[in-house]
Structure 1
Amino acid sequence: MDLPEGRMALTVTGRKELAKDICEFTLARDDGAVLPSFTAGAHITVETPGGAMRRYSLLNDGSAPTSYVIAVKREANSRGGSASMHADVREGTVLNVDPPENEFELVEAPKYLLIAGGIGITPILSMARHLSAEGKAFRLIYCTRTPEETAYLDEVSSFPTATVHHDNGDIDDFYDFWDHFEKPGAEHVYCCGPAPLMEEIKALSGHWTEGRVHFEDFAGVDVVREDDVPFTVTIASTGREIEVPADRSILEALRDAGEKTVSSCESGTCGTCKCRLIEGEADHRDLVLMDEEKDDYIMICVSRAKSGDLVVDL
């Protein structure tokens, strides 16, 4: 099957268990050729064996890479992405991968504060490696629940200015970041981790100059909500009707039914899955469409029917 322009078929050349529910995967061309370069903080979008498109931060040096290294945490509420990577990907598996992108780029600064929570260590570790190699000043704070759930524990601990904190799930033992944010300094802050961590850092840094605190968040918007109900989507060109369950997106339902779909982020942030809305009232949940587009288009990775059914043109 022909791949979309730029997308690469890469072979998994290594799989390594890093910590509880976290695996590292190394991907490369069969001929060992150099891959598109990237900078610290970049990510690739991977088509998982289950068909879902998921973004994963790159860990290795990107100057002239012959491989891409990613780490994937199996999420308890996985919608097919991380579960598929853990269950179905082995050495020799071929995965379709989009070229690297970087929306979390390091900017020039006199020093840096790097903050990671859980699997959010992946872009943060790539930054720490880069800054260390460049001899630039940084501090790294890495928060996890337990040592057993901490990927790259030994390497992070080896940085002289790194702090690794385990809270053991005790809210009274969460790391106190206030001392780092009480008085704005000269550093730029980079933060990646679960939503509660990033919300805390946003709240603590509200008095900092805009643009000094940077976040990486692949979560996008909520794809499924507790009050969602099933509805039917009709494909205008064929008249085929497809039921969208309450716990699946339109995109997932179409994919499950064997319909050819195009997507990338699957979190309502990139616009790749934009389809024409022919009939029906959409519950728009994306972060892409302009108000004047919402009567005529829908992002099928996250949006649903507000009431009744929908007719779309793929």
Structure 2
Amino acid sequence: MIELEVAKRRQLTETITEFTLTPADAAALPGFTPGAHITVQTPSGAMRRYSLVNDGSAPDSYVIALKREPASRGGSASMHDVALEGTRLQVEPPQNDFALQDTPEPLLIAGGIGVTPILSMARHLTAQQKPFRVIYCSRSAEEAAYLDELTAMGPHVTVHHDHGDFDEMYDFWDHFETPQAHHVYCCGPAPLMEEIKAMCGHWPEGRVVFEDFKPVEAVKPDDTPFAVTLRSSGQTVDVPADRTILEALRDAGIATASSCESGTCGTCKCTLVAGEADHRDMVLMDEEKTSRIMICVSRAKSAELVLDL
């Protein structure tokens, strides 16, 4: 982990804030490529991944922008409310699961706060004087972060506002009807991602690339509370319907290892001693599911789980 300090905050829209993070000890920062992200331990303790928007060739800071989510379970809300200038945060070094390939004239598609990795790609391609196209969709101009910078890049940037009306959503079919040689990079809310995935099934594999930080629905509307007992101490922690096991343990002052907190990395894997789990992760093999559980997203089908913690 790297200790960084919030050097600057900038309000981009009513709900989106940009954070400039600099090393707390003036040490050199690892570089990164367009599309990369960092994992931040937010003031609430939750680990959250945020795309980097600045140049990563020799960075003296990491710049991220994040939206305050209405249903935040602690991550984005604590960043907006508590991570003021001067606040120190623990951050994992950059990783890139959404790397920009060196292909001709890529199409970059952004929706809402998904503009952050797309912006980093657009900035990079502009600096390299390479052709590209951008389609940026949002509800309104007032809710579109970095709108002025993107539109200033030229006519190859298309901006579309649907004003929350399904009938006014951008029609992507013309871009996907016939498979093209270029790559497509897409980041945005679930409805946008699902629409693009439905349209590109006939494209060659790997030609359309997605960045999705929320692949698992950790909390669902019909979830119910249950209890978790820790074998080492015998302590029982109640897990409310709207909290994950990891969050409930954290709320109770019990420290556990975690990283992605989206069911994709495996850091929070625990031994399941007793009880029936409701597995929601994307890591465990079928043969592991009777004896292991990812506590960042999975829940219980039984009234109680016993964990080797």
TM-score normalised by the chain length of structure 2: 0.98
* Contact 1:43–1:102 (CA under 8 A) maintained in structure 2: yes
Q: Secondary structure at the match of 2:30?
A: coil
* TM-superposed deviation, 1:94: 0.3
Q: Which amino acid aligns with 2:96?
A: N
Is 1:265 the counterpart of 2:260? The answer is yes
Q: Which amino acid aligns with 2:87?
A: T
Q: Secondary structure at the match of 2:45?
A: coil
Q: Secondary structure at the match of 1:99?
A: strand
Q: Which amino acid aligns with 2:298?
A: S
Which of residues 110, 130, 136 in structure 2 aligns to 1:142? 136
Is 1:30 the counterpart of 2:27? The answer is no
User: 1:47-62 to 2 correspondence within 5 Å?
Assistant: 47-62=41-56
What does residue 210 of structure 1 align with? Answer: 205
Is 1:247 the counterpart of 2:238? The answer is no
* TM-superposed deviation, 1:220: 2.1
* TM-superposed deviation, 1:108: 2.0
Q: Secondary structure at the match of 1:100?
A: strand
* TM-superposed deviation, 1:207: 1.3
Deviations 1:222-279 (A, max 9, x none): 1111221111111111111111111111001000000011111111111110011111
CA distance in 2, matches of 1:149, 1:287: 32
What does residue 231 of structure 1 align with? Answer: 226
Q: Which amino acid aligns with 1:15?
A: R
Is 1:97 the counterpart of 2:83? The answer is no
* TM-superposed deviation, 1:64: 1.2
Q: Which amino acid aligns with 2:147?
A: L
* TM-superposed deviation, 1:164: 0.9
Deviations 1:27-64 (A, max 9, x none): 01134332011100000000100111000000011111
What does residue 195 of structure 2 align with? Answer: 200
What does residue 59 of structure 2 align with? Answer: 65
Q: Secondary structure at the match of 2:303?
A: strand
Deviations 1:66-124 (A, max 9, x none): 10000010011111111111111111000110000000011121120000000000000
User: 1:68-147 to 2 correspondence within 5 Å?
Assistant: 68-147=62-141
Is 1:15 the counterpart of 2:9? The answer is yes
Which of residues 296, 299, 306 in structure 1 aligns to 2:301? 306
* Contact 2:24–2:88 (CA under 8 A) maintained in structure 1: no
Q: Secondary structure at the match of 2:301?
A: strand
CA distance in 2, matches of 1:110, 1:72: 30
Q: CA RMSD in A?
A: 0.9
* Contact 1:111–1:186 (CA under 8 A) maintained in structure 2: no
Q: Which amino acid aligns with 1:65?
A: P
Deviations 1:142-178 (A, max 9, x none): 0000111010011010112101111111111111111
Q: Which amino acid aligns with 1:72?
A: L
* TM-superposed deviation, 1:186: 1.4
Q: Which amino acid aligns with 2:181?
A: A
TM-score normalised by the chain length of structure 1: 0.96
Is 1:152 the counterpart of 2:146? The answer is yes
CA distance in 2, matches of 1:16, 1:86: 11
* TM-superposed deviation, 1:65: 0.8
Distance 1:230 1:31, change over 3 A: closer
CA distance in 2, matches of 1:71, 1:237: 40
CA distance in 2, matches of 1:20, 1:144: 14
Q: Which amino acid aligns with 2:117?
A: P
Q: Which amino acid aligns with 1:275?
A: C
CA distance in 2, matches of 1:170, 1:242: 43
Q: Secondary structure at the match of 2:93?
A: coil
* Contact 1:58–1:123 (CA under 8 A) maintained in structure 2: yes
* TM-superposed deviation, 1:203: 1.1
CA distance in 2, matches of 1:150, 1:144: 6
* TM-superposed deviation, 1:141: 0.5
CA distance in 2, matches of 1:281, 1:173: 45
* Contact 1:277–1:310 (CA under 8 A) maintained in structure 2: yes
Q: Secondary structure at the match of 2:97?
A: coil
CA distance in 2, matches of 1:227, 1:30: 43
* Contact 2:3–2:24 (CA under 8 A) maintained in structure 1: no
CA distance in 2, matches of 1:176, 1:155: 24
Runs of 4+ in 1 over 3 A off after TM superposition: none
5+ residue gaps, structure 1, are 1-6
